[in-house]
Copies of this chain bind each other. A is one copy, B any other.
Amino acid sequence: MLAAGGGIDKWWAMFNIHDDDAVRDILERHRIGNVKDYVPQPVVSLEDQWAAEPTRADGLRVLNSRPFNAETPEAALREYITPTELFFVRGHMPVPDLKNRPDFCVMVEGEGMDARCFTVEDLKRQFEEHTETVTIQCGGNRRTTMEAAYAADGAKGVKGLSWKGGAIGTADWTGVYLRDVIAACQVEPPYDPASYHVQFEGADRDAAGHFQASIPYNMATSPDADVLIAYKMNGEDLPPDHGYPLRAIVPGVVGVRNCKFLQRVTVQPDECESVWQQNDYKNFPSYETKPNHSYPSIYYMPVQSQLTHAAYNPEADAIQLQAYAYAGGGRGIQRVEVSHDNGRSFEYAATLQPRPQTGAASQEEASFPHERQWAWRQVVADTPVKDIKAAPVVRGDGTKVYLTCIRAVTTDNEVQPAVAPYNFRGLLYNGYSCKDIAVK
């Protein structure tokens, strides 16, 4: 431990995200006493840990600087392909300096494997290149909506960064299929593929070790799962914030499993032991208040939608909406319904925008029983006020207000709940997305 036997000031120098009152309160409860005649040592600078942090675009909504976490601004969420420089960044650690490591390679190893390390050039030379258009969503996206939904319940806090709804984005990811790389190294397949896992390790690290996460072996190797070792995002080399030079892209699966700075792939009998696999990014039941290994790790994300624009246009006397809608596991969006009475009734469907041609090798069309719709749909609705059946709420000053909500329905007939289950880590929130719209 970085702080073992010493002050924890240097931890806070590295991870300012933890330097807050809540952590100080926790530490206070564990205070045994004060060391007699303790003279704090000057904090050793860890500034070099952050030396490789890239310059970021001004438009990002920054939630934390070290590690860097920022969400995509609303306007950019309305584009089918999220501009690379405005794609949300979820960093757990400093960005490693890999720009000056031409020999960097990803080690592929594990049970029944002939261990080999592949540079980007090795991958390009030895395997077929594929591009997949994939939406990546952080497990904590829309945490602020969960906070608001459970604010009335005083006992229940929600722990984590306050993502509004911009911890999601879509890009064309180019690389090679993980299944091809594993097959090339495989001497004999593991004993029971159904229970095995493939662990990813990033080159990013803190004093406790590297970032790690895993996915089931069958997902990693299935021809239907399209898992990539990617080296390009929207046609360019991966930027440092998105994992340069290599990143695991796991379509339909929560962001945290899409390991950045990929330096190691390990086939193994067990799920990853890291905190991001065992203590967090889990589907904690609504009655749970602390991390517990026994709950299931999150892979597929539930059906999601979020308003990205909702406003009254006085010229047209119409309410105009835009939104994104997404479901994990490759499932498609069947429709998005619109309510103007706070979700009591839904009056009509928004229009699912056609997918633009992206120039990427086209993704295969969805087919039963396994769909492969890896990317979100963009949604619009433009409704003249005269066509709205719901009665507006009339405020004290006479303003008429529509309590506008949307909900998405998947191709397998699942629907967003009005309010999603409480999760003390603020994960998996997918309740109706609502906004009050005043009409003049």
Contacts and interface: CB of A to CB of B under 8 A. Distances in A.
A428 B334 CA distance: 14
Interface string A148-184: 0000010000000000000000000000000000000
B345 A412 contact: no
Contacts of A303: 414
A285 B413 contact: no
Interface residues of A, number: 54
Nearest to A428: B413
A432 to B, nearest CB: 10
Interface string A298-327: 111111000000000000000000000000
A225 interface: yes
Contacts of A38: none
A194 interface: yes
A367 B196 CA distance: 10
A370 interface: yes
Q: Is the interface of A mostly helix, strand, loop or mixed?
A: loop
A286 interface: yes
A90 to B, nearest CB: 18
A215 B415 contact: no
B413 A301 contact: yes
B222 A370 contact: yes
A369 B218 contact: yes
Contacts of A301: 413
A401 B286 CA distance: 23
Nearest to A366: B194
9 contacts: A216-B368, A219-B369, A224-B369, A252-B369, A299-B368, A302-B412, A328-B412, A345-B422, A413-B428
Given A194-B367, A286-B337, A303-B414, 5 more contacts: A252-B369, A285-B335, A286-B346, A287-B347, A329-B369
Interface of A: 153, 193-194, 215-216, 218-219, 222, 224-225, 252, 283, 285-287, 296, 298-303, 328-330, 334-335, 337, 345-349, 364-365, 367-370, 407, 409, 411-422, 428
